Amino acid sequence: MAVDARNQAAVAAAPPSGGAPVHVAIIMDGNGRWAARRGLPRVEGHRRGVEAVRRSVRAASDLGVRYLTLYSFSSENWRRPATEVADLLGLLKRFIRHDLAELHAANVRVRIIGDRDSLSADLQALLCEAEDLTRANTGLVLAIAFNYGGRQEIVRAVRRLAREVKAGRLDPEAIDMAHIDAALDTHGIPDPDLVIRTSGEHRVSNFLPWQATYAEYVFLPDLWPDFDHATFEAAIGEFMRRDRRFGGLSARTA
């Protein structure tokens, strides 16, 4: 069976069984339940979730992770009550305004993935500022998935390619996985090796469906505000015990 060059490159770049993940992506879930169990308003759960984001960024650097993608706000989250959406947007703005200087000083590069067209002008400007300020940094790459949906991302990529075809700059028969990959929001970022979801749910929730084709998933019972260095380290330990075959024979039994 022929293997596409894009898949070959992804497999070649992935760490072998027993190796630490290069790219970790996290579905941060459970803020509301964390607050409800304590009789607190949901916004307090989201505030504590921001603290967990700070811990996860520091832990990723400590654990040798080079790329960290956090699912902060999905395309479907707009369906939540307007007050909660406003709280989430406000927390994102405060996180960027208050933490950007620290991230920059720590040599972290910030990337934003997701649809920006429907966002307010001030929020778009803030996201661009975060990317522009940290663009030359060479440490951890922190990708924040905001107003993000995986299927919507693929639609945007297809439209970009369709415009290239319409303009005569691209032969439709030449389109391959590498072209689609380059048209995605995550271009330049390697595929995730490990996807973590907190809160005990076992869904992928429209998160990186193209990129996570070969990822290992770890589903944790912990609610996101309780996520810390030890939890992160344990998830990586679970990943390193997995036998990654990528469609081939096990390296341990071949």
Domains, the chain, ordered by start: 19-241 (3.40.1180.10)
User: What's the pLDDT score for residue 97?
Assistant: 87
Residues designated as active site: 29, 77
> Are the C-beta atoms of residues 145 and 207 closer than 8 Å to each other?
yes
176 is in an annotated binding site: no
30 is in an annotated binding site: yes
The two three-digit tokens of residue 215, written as one number: 């990822």
49 is in an annotated binding site: no
The vertex-216 CA angle with 215 and 221, nearest 5°, equals 130
User: What's the pLDDT score for residue 244?
Assistant: 84
Predicted TM-score (pTM) of this structure:
0.90
Alpha-carbon torsion (185, 189, 190, 194), positive or negative: negative
197 is in an annotated binding site: yes
31 is in an annotated binding site: yes
| 41 DSSP 8-state letter | -
Give 10-residue mean pLDDT values along the chain (254 residues).
53 66 97 97 95 97 97 90 90 90 96 92 94 97 96 97 98 97 98 98 97 97 98 98 73 52
48 is in an annotated binding site: no
Query: What percent helix, strand, coil does the chain show, rounded to 5?
Result: 50, 15, 40
User: What's the pLDDT score for residue 2?
Assistant: 39
User: What's the pLDDT score for residue 118?
Assistant: 83
User: What's the pLDDT score for residue 248?
Assistant: 59
Report phi then psi at 69, rounded to 5. -115, 125
User: What's the pLDDT score for residue 133?
Assistant: 97
